[in-house]
């Protein structure tokens, strides 16, 4: 029998992450802090407990991570990056606080990362690595800000289409092997662009549902171990394709619940491992997509609560 969902313990675990300043773990995650805030507040929001973290302090902190060029870093003084810029926008949107930042400045930063010749997007102004994750980040960010019309959507859609593989999946760059995380970012970007017609739906749905192993857990690629975070990358992809019923929901629920720390709260990548806030949010978001545990509905494209996404500018 599956253990129970430890809602109150997960709330307490997320609250505790911000108060352990004397522990090594806290400093080791310094380069991820803003991401951690997004993972934590999103997990709480899906549990209907967003107010368990102090709103004003959070908004102030997010703003302190912004640079003059509009981009956000992982922590004050850390270099700006597209991933952290998306996390900042997601947190402020969840808190209904986007009016506290200059949307035009953020837009300018994001637009500067698109290669207007190919539609590829780089992660920051210094680097030259392109990744389909960054295309999604740019499009999610700009659509939340109501600025997607300033972005060359068609070019980036074409770029994503070039990352499509013979198995129906998508990789990091053209020619790279299919991977569930990358498939989520490409599908979600195509959903934002309203171009899901480009997807080989049946072939990709097969690849995705074959990620479920006998344990009930999902892996991210053939031959890999199952991992709770793929409950999100694979399930959200199936949800976008309208094929959530292609996997065994009860077995996946059991796999996620078994990865909980039933004493301290939080969810691990799999049973017996150490919990972290990343696997906690994606485990809880996966349970929400599956319709279990009385959780608030989560949007599979934005990984934010549906009631937040319903405020998106038209
Ligand atoms: C984890 N990152 O590169 S990371 C991440 N992984 O910043 C955060 N499943 O130490 C946490 N693996 C834990 N808290 C893990 C985010 C990775 C994903 C690693 C992981 C997850 C299996 C091995 C990449 C969005 C953003 C970033 C990623 C994916 C999606 C780590 C290792 C890597 C990273 C952070 C800590 C184990 C937490
Ligand atoms: Zn994982």
Task: Give per-residue pLDDT as tens, 84-94.
Answer: 999 999 999 99
276 lines ligand 1 (CB under 6 A): yes
Task: Give the number of the atom of ligand 1 that is nearest the alpha carbon of residue 276.
Answer: 14
What pLDDT, on the 0 to 100 scale, is given for residue 127?
82
Of the bound ligands, which one is closest to the alpha carbon of residue 227? 2
Q: Which ligand is nearest to the CA of 81?
A: 1
Residue 110: pLDDT band (50, 70, 90) is very high
Angle of CA points 15, 17, 19, to nearest 5°: 85
Tell me the pLDDT band of 24, cut-offs 50, 70 and 90. Answer: low
| Residue 239: closest CA among 188, 292, 275 | 188
- The H helix count followed by the E strand count for the chain is 14, 2
Mean pLDDT of 155-175: 97
How confident is residue 28, by pLDDT bands cut at 50, 70 and 90? low
User: Who has greater pLDDT, 31 or 119?
Assistant: 119
Distance 108 CA to ligand 1 centre (A): 28
Q: How far apart are the C-alpha atoms of 250 and 155, rounded to whole Å? A: 40
Per-residue pLDDT at 42 = 98
List the structure tokens of 264: 């301290």
State whether the beta carbon of 261 lies less than 6 angstroms from ligand 1: no
> Considering the chain, what is the average pLDDT of its residues?
95
Angle at CA of residue 142, ends 179 and 182, nearest 5°:
0
pLDDT digits (tens, 9 = 90+) for 253-268: 999 999 999 999 999 9
The predicted model scores a pTM of 0.97
Phi first, then psi: what are they for 122, rounded to 5°?
A: -95, 165
- Domain coordinates in residue numbering, the chain: 7-309
* Residue 29 scores a pLDDT above 90: no
Protein residue with its CA nearest to atom 38 in ligand 1: 278
Nearest residue to 116 via CA among 71, 158, 155? 155
Q: Is the pLDDT of residue 221 over 70?
A: yes
Q: Output the residue whose Cα is nearest ligand 1's atom 7.
A: 32
For the stretch 234-252, pLDDT in tens is: 999 999 999 999 999 999 9
The answer, yes or no, to whether any atom of ligand 1 lies below 6 A from the CB of 229, is: yes
Report residue 48 as tokens. Answer: 């209907």
Whose C-alpha lies nearest to ligand 1, atom 31?
Answer: 29
- Cα radius of gyration rounded to whole Å, the chain: 19
Whole-number percent of the chain with pLDDT over 70: 97
7-309 folds as: Glycosyltransferase (1.50.10)
Nearest Cα to Cα of residue 174 among 182, 185, 165: 165
What is the Cα 21 distance to its own chain's centre? 26
By alpha-carbon position, which residue is closest to atom 5 of ligand 1? 278
pLDDT at 27: 64
Are the C-beta atoms of residues 131 and 123 closer than 8 Å to each other?
Answer: yes
- Rounded-to-integer distance, Cα 284 and Cα 185, Å: 19
Does residue 26 surpass a pLDDT of 70?
Answer: no
Question: Around ion ligand 2, which residues have CB less than 5 A away?
Answer: 227, 229, 269
The verdict on the CB of residue 259 being under 6 Å from ligand 1 is: no
Give the atom of ligand 1 at the shortest distance from the alpha carbon of 31.
7
Which residue has the CA at smallest separation from atom 4 of ligand 1?
32
Q: Nearest residue CA, atom 19 of ligand 1? A: 278
Is residue 227 in contact with ligand 1, taking CB distance under 6 Å?
yes
CB 234 within 8 A of CB 221: no
Q: Average pLDDT, stretch 101-124?
A: 97
Q: For residues 216 and 26, what is the distance between their CA atoms, to the nearest angstrom?
A: 32
Give the pLDDT band (50/70/90) at residue 22: low
How far apart CA 11 and CA 277 sit, in angstroms, is 11
> Has residue 77 got a pLDDT over 90?
yes
pLDDT higher than 80, residue 155: yes
- State residue 128's pLDDT score: 74
Question: What is the percentage of the chain residues whose pLDDT exceeds 90?
Answer: 93
Mean pLDDT on 68-94: 97
């Amino acid at each position: 029998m599956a253990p129970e969902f430890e809602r109150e313990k997960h709330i307490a675990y997320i609250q505790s992450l911000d108060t352990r300043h004397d522990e090594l773990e806290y400093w080791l995650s310094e380069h991820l802090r803003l991401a951690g805030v997004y993972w934590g507040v999103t997990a709480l929001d899906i549990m209907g407990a967003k107010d368990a973290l102090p709103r004003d302090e959070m908004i102030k902190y997010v703003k302190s991570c912004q640079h003059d060029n509009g981009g956000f870093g992982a922590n004050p003084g850390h270099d700006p990056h597209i991933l952290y810029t998306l996390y900042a926008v997601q947190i402020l949107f969840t808190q209904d606080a986007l009016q506290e930042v200059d949307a035009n400045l953020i837009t300018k930063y994001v637009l500067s990362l698109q290669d207007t010749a190919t539609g590829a997007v780089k992660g920051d102004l210094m680097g030259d690595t392109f990744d389909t994750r960054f295309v999604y980040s740019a499009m999610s960010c700009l659509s939340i800000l109501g600025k997607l019309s300033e972005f060359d959507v068609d070019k980036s859609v074409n770029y994503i289409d070039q990352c499509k593989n013979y198995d129906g999946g998508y990789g990091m760059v053209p020619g790279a092997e299919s991977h569930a995380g990358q498939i989520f970012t490409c599908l979600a970007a195509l959903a934002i662009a309203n171009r899901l017609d480009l997807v080989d739906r049946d072939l990709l749905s097969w690849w995705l549902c074959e990620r479920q192993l006998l344990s009930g857990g999902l892996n991210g690629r053939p031959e890999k171990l199952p991992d709770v975070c793929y409950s999100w990358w694979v399930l959200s992809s199936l949800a976008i394709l309208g094929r959530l019923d292609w996997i065994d929901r009860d077995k996946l629920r059991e796999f996620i619940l078994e990865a909980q720390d039933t004493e301290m709260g939080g969810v691990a990548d799999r049973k017996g491992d150490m919990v972290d806030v990343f696997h906690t949010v994606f485990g809880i978001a996966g349970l929400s997509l599956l319709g279990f545990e009385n959780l608030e509905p989560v949007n599979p494209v934005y990984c934010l609560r549906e009631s937040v996404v319903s405020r998106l500018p038209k």
